[in-house]
Amino acid sequence: MIKYAFWNNKGGTGKTSLIFQTICRYANLHSEKRILAVDACPQANLSELLLGGLTNQGSDNLLKRHGLLQRCSIGGYFQIRLPTPYTLPDFSIDDFLTTPGEYNSTIPPNVDLLCGDPLLELQANAINTLANTQIPGTNTWIQIIDWLGDLLQQVDDRYAVAFIDGNPSFSIYTQIALSIADQLILPVMADDSSRRAIQNTFSLVYGLKLPSDIYTQHAFATKLRAAKRTLPKVHLIAKNRLTQYMGPASAYAAVLRSIEEDVTALQAAHPDIFTFADVANGIVDIRDFQTTGVVAFAKGCPFYSMPVGRLDIGGHRVRVNPDYRQHCIDAIDGLVNKL
């Protein structure tokens, strides 16, 4: 099973919309493969989308999964790990998985979901404390970081691909999620904060350009490498929500060129943390989804199965243009074809 994480140390880059469409389209084009979606974000927006979106009871369906006797979510799994954090309890991963197609008919049937959970925020303090407990002969931090890896070991042969949605915060649950990823997809926007976030990402995940050895000693990358764990490799930079009429002389284009220059310099200096040798092969352009994206988010609907024309969304009439919907499909296909 290959595991892709969509992550950036900045909110608002369209990460969840992008991973939702990618999961659905990949599963649609590869119906012979089983796909696992891992929602490692306490906001659980990916889970709500897969379970129906805003207008099709996605939130209610998620609450039902949380309300089961065995809480069916990543938070439910972490809950059973907390009492014995350094030893593996008896459990079945199937107790924590959901098949979103049973709730949302537009989702391919070969997709399963480990739901997100706001409980992660409540659990974070306890998990941090456990990860930093000193026990002779036990690497407590790595025992905690391996929690998701322990879970997915049960289904390594069941799924061909896992897609992981992470929270922008580099919290302990984000580190647990990123530690199992093989490849990293970084969505960016055409703004300076996205450029800074890319730089932060390389510091946080790979320990690059840290201000002193004190930070290096305790860095995520340092501790993973010391435990002989591998780091995810950067596979794609997704330039997301590009403005349709953005010209080559625009300020937006200048920022995006700067991001490309930053990535080019990093790739030249640290080729081992990238899957691509030519930066042009590691960048995809995603146009702004505009109304089509709003409808997809509201309905929890992949672009390829979305109806066109005038639609009712929460009592408002909106129009999905067939040509623009096709542009959205083509953009997602451009990303999926690089996986």
Give the single-character DSSP code of 212.
S
| Residue 39: CATH number of its domain | 3.40.50.300
Using an 8 Å Cβ cutoff, are 180 and 148 in contact? Answer: yes
Q: What is the CA radius of gyration of the chain?
A: 20
Q: What residues have CB less than 8 Å from 316, skipping those under 6 apart?
A: none
- Token pair 């994480």 is found at 5
Tokens matching residue 245: 């009429």
How far apart are alpha carbons 149 and 153 in whole angstroms? 6
* Per-residue pLDDT in tens (0 to 9) along the chain, 339 residues: 999 999 988 777 778 999 999 999 999 999 999 999 999 999 999 999 999 998 889 999 999 999 999 999 999 999 999 999 999 999 999 999 999 999 999 999 999 999 999 999 999 999 999 999 999 989 999 999 999 999 999 999 999 999 999 999 999 999 999 999 999 999 987 677 777 778 888 999 999 888 788 888 889 999 999 999 999 999 999 987 655 445 545 666 777 778 888 888 889 999 999 999 988 899 898 877 877 888 888 889 999 998 887 776 666 777 777 888 898 899 999 999 999
E strand or H helix that includes residue 39: strand 35-40
Tell me the residue type at 209.
Answer: K
Specify which residues 311 forms β-bridges with: 318
Give the amino acid at 218: H
Residues pairing with 318 in the sheet = 311
What's this model's pTM, rounded to 2 decimal places? 0.93
Cα angle 35, 24, 103 (rounded to 5 degrees) comes to 85
Which amino acid would we find at residue 147? W
Check: CB of residue 75 under 8 Å from CB of residue 150. Answer: no
Sign of CA dihedral 14, 336, 203, 140: positive
The whole domain housing 124 covers 2-336
DSSP per residue, 198-262: HHHHHHHHH-TT-SSHHHHHT-HHHHHHHTTPPPPEEEEEEEEEE-TT--TTSHHHHHHHHHHHH
What total number of domains does the chain contain?
Answer: 1
Q: Which residues of 228-245 are buried (b: 16+ CB within 10 A; e: fewer)?
A: eeebbebbbbbbbbbeee
